[in-house]
Structures are given as structure tokens and as C-alpha cells.
Amino acid sequence: MTNVKQKRKGMVSQPESPDCPKLTTFEEIKKAERRNLVFVSSIIITLLILGIFLYIFSRTYAKAWRLGVPMRPDAFNSILQRSIPALVAMGGSAFLIAVVSLSFQTIVDSKILTPSMIGFDSIFMGTQTLLVFLFGTTTQFFLNPHVNFIVSAGVMVVVSFFMYSAILRRSKNNMIFLLMFGLVLSGVVSSGTRYLQTIMSFYEFTQVQALINVSLNNVNETLIYMVVPLMLILSFFMLFRHRIYNVLTLGSQQARGLGVDYQKELNFNLILIAIGMSLSTALIGSLTFLGLLAVNFARMVLKTHRHLPLFMISGLVAVITLILGEAIVELIQGAVPVTVVINLVGCSWVFYYIIKDNKI
């Protein structure tokens, strides 16, 4: 299907003539799109399986070999027992981050802003610290990870909903403002958090550290079995609504003309995004550029605006990036954590975008 053929078709407009080459039909285009999707998905699934095996391998046999000890089956089993929750947490979080980032980009009509870039995860961490600070001395209530999570997530949903719906209503088209806002917010929250942490008691401090200093190597395991099912539900709920996101890519005005209540969608999605960011931040910490990378990569390989394939591929790409990256880091015992690499590549991508289009 080349442009030349299409142009011919436009001018001659006699597709039935026998000596004319058979022209691309709608079905063929759809088929090509589907073939592309199947191709991309099979590569991705292969990589995913590879990543999982490599991750387990690097934590077991590779490690044993490096230490010069044989791998005993019981030791293998016990490491496996610990690796599976970590894999589940990384997979669920990465998929959700990608899905949430894509829906956010569609809603605010930007290809580079993601929820973490405008400060969603900072709000979550700030809320958690503040709760422990305010109530920690008087009650053990908020030190229970489950309760703390639910309360922090609830507070975060309310706070971010009001904050961002107010901001987005006024300056949706002002990306620079949103970015600056996210930057300043993250700065304020992290220094505020650090300040609170220095003035709180040592016991509280260690508790807060346990809550907010989660990272890939330090997954919050107590929360996994509560949070991962919620992550899956939320991801699939958004996937299920892919048709509405498709219409929203036409812009808020066109979408309204086609019967989508834009303001309602914006509010509803902000709530979903806030929940999604709380879930993933609570479990594996903040991964600022993972969503951006995964979504843009999916857009690049799929070349479609349809959200069902975009959601699936960007979700899987995020999962692979995280698991494969983590596996490689463990394997080579690199000094650099995978999040640093992701942020580096993500930052470069934003840089490239800004320079290429000279806009945000």
C-alpha cells in the first residue's frame, strides 16, 4: 500500500478495471494493522518470558555462581518464593502506570505529560508522611500499612481531584504551566517530607521510611495481595473504556459534539488516575518516566490512535522494561538501579520531543 497507488486511485477512480493492480481495501488495511499488532505482541511476550526467566536466573544461579557456592534446591525454592511477589508487584504496577499515563495523555491532549510528571506521586508520599506525622504519636492506626494505604489513597484522591480539576479546567492548554506546577509541587513535597521526617520521633521516622521508601528492590510486600488485584481491576476497567478514549483523541470539543460529556470524563479520569498513582506508588515507589517511555514507544511501533492496542502494548512494554531491566541490573550487579536508567532514557525522550517540535 503506497501513496502512489492511493493517489492513482483518487484520480482514476476505476478500481474494477482488470489491468489496474488490485487496490488496497479497507479490510486489507485493518488486516495489516492487526498483523502488525500480532507481530509486536509476539515479540513482546517473548521478551516478557525471557525477562521473567532472566530475573529468576540472575537472583539464583547467577548469584550462586558469583559467590562460588552450588545452588541447592531448597535455597532455589526459597528465593523463588520471594521473587514471585516482586515480579507480580512490578508487573502490576508497570502495566497500571502505562495505562494511567496513556489515559492521562488522551484526556489532557498531550504526548509528553504524564501523571508523575505533574506531581501525582509526590502528593501521595506527602500525604502519607503528613498522616503519620499528625496522627502517628497518638495512635498506631496509621502505622498499619493497610490502613495507612487506604487513608492516604483516599486523601490523595480528594486532594488531587480538586487541585488538578481546578488547574486543568483553567490551563489545560498550558503545558508549561502544568510542568512547572508539577516540578514545584514535587520540590515542596519532598523537602516538606524531609523536614517532617527530621522533626518526628525516631520510631515514627522508621515507620514512614518503611512506607515511602519503597522501591523496586524493596517492594512493599504486605500490600501486594491487597493492591495487585485492585491494579488489575483498574487497568482492565480503563482498557474496557477504550472507545471513549478514542473519541477523546479528536479533542474535547469534537468529543462533546459526539456526545461525550468532557467535563465529566475529565473528573472521572482524574479520580481513576489518582487511585492508580496511589496504588503503584505505594507498592513500588515513584517511577517518573516509565509511563512516558512505554506509551510513546507503543505509539511509535503501532502508529494508531486506537486505544485498545495502545493500552495493551504500552502496558506490556512497561512491564518488560521494568522486569528485564531489573533482571539485567541484578545479573551484571550494576551499580546503577534500573529506575535511574529509565529516568535517563525518559528524560532524553522528552528532550528530543521538545527539540524536535520546539514545543511541549
Partner 1 sequence: MIEVRNVNQSYSKRSSKKTLTDVSMVVKENAITALVGANGAGKSTLLSVMTNILPALSGVVLLDGKDVRKMKANDLSKRVAFLRQSQQLNVRITVNDLVEYGRFPHCGGRLKDEDHQKVEEALSYMNLTDLRHRYLEELSGGQCQRAFIAMILAQDTPYIFLDEPLNNLDIKYSVEMMKILTQLVEELNKTIIVVLHDINFAAAYADHIVAMKDGEIYYEGPPQDAITPEVLNPVFDHDFHISNSAGRPVFLYYDEDDPNCEVCVS
Give the binding site for partner 1 (CB under 8 A).
3, 6, 9-10, 13, 24, 26, 29, 109, 243-244, 246-247, 249-251, 253-254, 256-261, 264, 303, 305
To the nearest whole angstrom, how small is the minimum distance from the Cβ of residue 9 to partner 1?
A: 6
Minimum CB distance to partner 1 smaller for 187 or for 257: 257
Minimum CB distance to partner 1 smaller for 109 or for 221: 109
Minimum CB distance to partner 1 smaller for 146 or for 305: 305
HSE (CB half, 13 Å, CA atoms) of 232? 8
Minimum CB distance to partner 1 smaller for 144 or for 254: 254
To the nearest whole angstrom, how small is the minimum distance from the Cβ of residue 261 to partner 1?
A: 4
To the nearest whole angstrom, how small is the minimum distance from the Cβ of residue 237 to partner 1?
A: 16
Q: How far, in Å, are 89, 90, 324 from residue 53 at the CA level?
A: 16, 14, 9
Q: Which residue has cell 518464593? A: 81
Minimum CB distance to partner 1 smaller for 3 or for 198: 3
Q: Nearest 5 degrees, angle CA 291-CA 358-CA 166?
A: 55
Q: Nearest 5 degrees, angle CA 172-CA 175-CA 178?
A: 80
DSSP string, 179-248: HHHHHHHHHHHHHHHHHHHHHS-HHHHHHHHHHH--BTTB--GGGHHHHHHHHHHHHHHHHHTHHHHHHH
Q: Can you tell me the distance from the alpha carbon of 342 to that of 323, in angstroms, rounded to the nearest whole number? A: 12
To the nearest whole angstrom, how small is the minimum distance from the Cβ of residue 13 to partner 1?
A: 5
Q: How far, in Å, are 50, 209, 214, 282 from residue 321 at the CA level?
A: 12, 26, 19, 20
Minimum CB distance to partner 1 smaller for 50 or for 360: 360
To the nearest whole angstrom, how small is the minimum distance from the Cβ of residue 251 to partner 1?
A: 7
To the nearest whole angstrom, how small is the minimum distance from the Cβ of residue 349 to partner 1?
A: 18
